[in-house]
């Protein structure tokens, strides 16, 4: 596979609302991001994925866009956006925009027009159906609770929405829709952005009458047309959010010969502790061996035929250190362990804001302290179904999206230095200990560990391009793998749990010299690795020659 810059890049995701407020309105903004670019340069990232900053009524915090060519006033102006792109570029950082084109806001002029009458020229920009037997056209559910159909009294038809009823799905069968979206994408590409993160892109080829929502028959042709009409003419990174992808499906998107996307962002490893039917609101314990299997399967099956993202977090997931690490006495060790496990694999690593300082989940007692539409809909609908407040709060504490959305903890001053006003979502009370200022002043911090992991990836081709092999597959507590390229070998050893664990070097690994690349405890470099007693959440990576 031809080498590309984005194979070697590390991406940092910013959720602008929670990043840094410079106006005192309690909401993060573009100038706040500009202010912190030096911080991101210091971390060493190459790309910023910006969650949506377009004009929006914020029903789903910007994933409901009412003007693709304008910036939400609470985030700033188009001049701020241009300056952000330029200032980032000066630091060698590219900005990738969140492309949300499965749906728009119900306040988008297209939808306002479309709702006016059945024969409005924009009617067919969206998906409308007549009632069936006096009710919904079919039983497709919305991902945000309730049916995916909303009745419009005015025109006596239902429109389709896979997310909130304020996020009507676009009709991708309509060539006019395709054309408008392509033009809008070119508008952004001409500004010099570094690419697109494509929101729920697996949903655009849907066939609602056949109840096919994801991976529909038109999906890949649509992406190939989009590639040709827009980003295929630029050297940019495109990453598709594809929840249900298998490695086979991933190749359809990301095999370079097919001219679709650079890479996908799939969640198989992140849903292993969700109930198969009920999903994230009914979590189950993580099966560690399954995690090894799934991560390894993606490493080997995509090799040379596609490209994957490496991540533990984003704005839709709980904080990894609280989820699979230990956010109490081993917060620092376990955060570093999880980072080690991921950052030596093949793929493009994504760091979600705050992950680099080990930010944790939150536990607010009152539902009124939550903001996320998905959480609020879940709470409202399940209260009706007889769940207790406590049951629902437990689920929200564990998997609610607001865990990831609390403001970034910059320092230990009031509101964690995020705003001088009232933050739109309460700051996590642990900001007095967990904050950027503390991390920058402490050479042993999680921040410097991530900085080192990023540097190691830049300095060692084997981390980007090497072959992967899982070792000690049946071990219940340690995750061990190697990466090989020409005569270089990297050995990664991590203890995934709090209990100490014994590592015995597999016989087929031979070497003359070993060099410790990174570790989350102090290690005597000369110590033999034939047999190692691993401490709680201990992680090490060696170069063997």
Of the candidates 255, 240, 347, 241, the residue with the CA atom closest to the CA atom of residue 306? 255
CB-based burial label for 378 (10 Å; 0-12, 13-18, 19+):
buried
Q: How many residues does the chain have?
A: 545
200 binds ligand NOJ (CB under 6 A): yes
539 binds ligand NOJ (CB under 6 A): no
Residue 30, SS3 per DSSP: helix
Minimum gap (Å) between residue 163 Cβ and ligand NOJ: 5
Rounded distance between C-alpha atoms, residue 195 and residue 99, angstroms: 9
Of the candidates 79, 76, 75, 84, the residue with the CA atom closest to the CA atom of residue 35? 84
Minimum gap (Å) between residue 199 Cβ and ligand NOJ: 5
Rg of the chain (C-alpha set)? 23
Residue in 106, 169, 273, 316 binding ligand NOJ, rule: CB under 6 A:
316
Minimum gap (Å) between residue 243 Cβ and ligand NOJ: 9
Rounded distance between C-alpha atoms, residue 271 and residue 275, angstroms: 8
CA atoms within 13 A on the CB side of 349: 28
Minimum gap (Å) between residue 13 Cβ and ligand NOJ: 10
Rounded distance between C-alpha atoms, residue 55 and residue 75, angstroms: 9
54 binds ligand NOJ (CB under 6 A): no
Residue 335, SS3 per DSSP: helix
CA dist 479 → 290, 471, 497, 500, 510 (Å): 11, 8, 10, 13, 19
**Catalytic residue list:** 199, 241
Helices of type H across 237-312: 247-254, 288-301
Q: Long-range pairs for 240-243 at CB < 8 Å and ≥24 separation? A: 240/198, 240/201, 240/202, 240/264, 240/265, 241/197, 241/198, 241/199, 241/200, 241/201, 241/202, 241/265, 242/201, 242/202, 242/266, 243/200, 243/202, 243/214, 243/267
- The pattern of x and - marking residues 106 through 145 that bind ligand NOJ according to CB under 6 A reads ----------------------------------------
Minimum gap (Å) between residue 315 Cβ and ligand NOJ: 6
Query: Which one, 98 or 538, has the nearer CB to ligand NOJ?
Result: 98
Rounded distance between C-alpha atoms, residue 116 and residue 41, angstroms: 49
Residue in 21, 59, 199, 475 binding ligand NOJ, rule: CB under 6 A:
199
Q: What's phi and psi for 467, nearest 5 deg?
A: -80, 150
Query: Which one, 59 or 327, has the nearer CB to ligand NOJ?
Result: 59
Query: Which one, 64 or 80, has the nearer CB to ligand NOJ?
Result: 64
Residue nearest to ligand NOJ (CB): 63
Residue 272, SS3 per DSSP: coil
Minimum gap (Å) between residue 289 Cβ and ligand NOJ: 29
Of the candidates 535, 531, 504, 512, the residue with the CA atom closest to the CA atom of residue 522? 535
Minimum gap (Å) between residue 266 Cβ and ligand NOJ: 13
Query: Which one, 106 or 241, has the nearer CB to ligand NOJ?
Result: 241
Query: Which one, 19 or 330, has the nearer CB to ligand NOJ?
Result: 19
* Contact (Cβ atoms closer than 8 angstroms) between residue 461 and residue 350: no
- The pattern of x and - marking residues 89 through 108 that bind ligand NOJ according to CB under 6 A reads -----------x--------
Query: Which one, 149 or 163, has the nearer CB to ligand NOJ?
Result: 163
Show Cβ contacts of residue 505 under 8 Å, excluding neighbours closer than 6 positions: 529, 530, 531
- The pattern of x and - marking residues 57 through 76 that bind ligand NOJ according to CB under 6 A reads ---x--x-------------
Minimum gap (Å) between residue 434 Cβ and ligand NOJ: 24
Query: Which one, 316 or 333, has the nearer CB to ligand NOJ?
Result: 316
Query: Which one, 319 or 457, has the nearer CB to ligand NOJ?
Result: 319
* Contact (Cβ atoms closer than 8 angstroms) between residue 107 and residue 57: yes
Total residues at the site for ligand NOJ (CB under 6 A)?
Answer: 9
Query: Which one, 268 or 316, has the nearer CB to ligand NOJ?
Result: 316
Minimum gap (Å) between residue 18 Cβ and ligand NOJ: 13
- The pattern of x and - marking residues 223 through 262 that bind ligand NOJ according to CB under 6 A reads ------------------x---------------------
State the distance between the two ends of the chain, measured CA to CA, in whole angstroms.
26
Contacts with ligand NOJ by CB under 6 A lie at 60, 63, 100, 163, 199-200, 241, 315-316
């Amino acid at each position: 596979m031809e080498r590309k810059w984005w194979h070697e890049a590390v991406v940092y995701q910013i959720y602008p609302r929670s990043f840094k407020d410079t106006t005192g309105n309690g909401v993060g903004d573009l100038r706040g991001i500009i202010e912190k670019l030096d911080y991101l340069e210091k971390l060493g990232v190459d790309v910023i994925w910006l969650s949506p900053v377009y004009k929006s009524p914020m029903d789903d915090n910007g994933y409901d866009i009412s003007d693709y060519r304008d910036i939400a006033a609470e985030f700033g102006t188009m001049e701020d956006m241009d300056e952000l792109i330029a200032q980032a570029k000066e630091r060698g950082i590219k900005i990738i925009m969140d492309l949300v084109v499965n749906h728009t806001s119900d306040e988008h002029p297209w939808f306002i027009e479309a709702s006016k009458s059945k024969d409005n020229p924009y009617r067919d920009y969206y998906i409308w159906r007549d009632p069936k037997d006096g009710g919904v056209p079919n039983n497709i559910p919305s991902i945000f609770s309730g049916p995916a159909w909303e009745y419009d009294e005015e025109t006596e038809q239902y429109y389709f929405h896979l997310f909130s009823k304020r996020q009507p799905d676009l009709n991708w069968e309509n060539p006019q829709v395709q054309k408008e979206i392509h033009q809008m994408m070119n508008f952004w590409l001409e500004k010099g952005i570094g690419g697109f993160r494509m929101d729920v892109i697996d949903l655009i080829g849907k066939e609602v009458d056949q109840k096919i929502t994801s991976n529909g028959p038109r999906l890949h042709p649509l992406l190939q047309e989009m590639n040709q009409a827009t980003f295929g003419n630029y050297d940019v990174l495109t990453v598709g959010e594809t929840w249900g992808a298998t490695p086979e499906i991933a190749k359809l998107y990301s095999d370079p010969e097919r001219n679709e996307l650079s890479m996908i962002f799939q969640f198989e490893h992140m849903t292993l502790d969700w109930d198969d039917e009920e999903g994230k609101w009914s979590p189950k314990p993580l099966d560690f061996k399954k995690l090894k299997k799934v991560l390894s399967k993606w490493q080997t099956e995509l090799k040379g035929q596609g490209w994957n993202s490496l991540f533990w977090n984003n704005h839709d997931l709980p904080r990894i250190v609280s989820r699979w690490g230990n956010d109490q006495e081993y917060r620092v060790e376990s955060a570093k362990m999880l980072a080690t496990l991921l950052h030596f694999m093949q793929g493009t690593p994504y760091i979600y804001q705050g992950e680099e300082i080990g930010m944790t989940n939150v536990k607010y007692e009152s539902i009124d302290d939550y903001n996320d539409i998905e959480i609020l809909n879940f709470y409202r609908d399940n209260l009706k179904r007889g769940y207790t407040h406590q049951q629902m709060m437990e689920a929200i504490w564990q998997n609610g999206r607001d865990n990831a959305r609390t403001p970034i903890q910059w320092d230990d001053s009031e509101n964690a230095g995020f705003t001088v006003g009232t933050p739109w979502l309460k700051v996590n009370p642990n900001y007095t200990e967990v904050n950027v200022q503390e991390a920058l002043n402490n050479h042993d911090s999680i921040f410097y560990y991530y900085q080192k992991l990023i540097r190691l990836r830049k300095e060692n081709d084997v981390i980007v391009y090497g072959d992967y092999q899982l070792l000690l597959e049946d071990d219940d507590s340690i995750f061990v793998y190697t990466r090989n390229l020409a005569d270089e070998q990297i050995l990664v050893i991590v203890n995934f749990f709090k209990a100490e664990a014994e590592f015995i070097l597999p016989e087929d690994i031979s070497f003359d010299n070993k060099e410790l690349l990174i570790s989350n405890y102090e290690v005597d470099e000369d110590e033999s690795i034939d047999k190692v007693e691993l401490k709680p959440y201990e992680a090490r990576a060696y170069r063997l020659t």
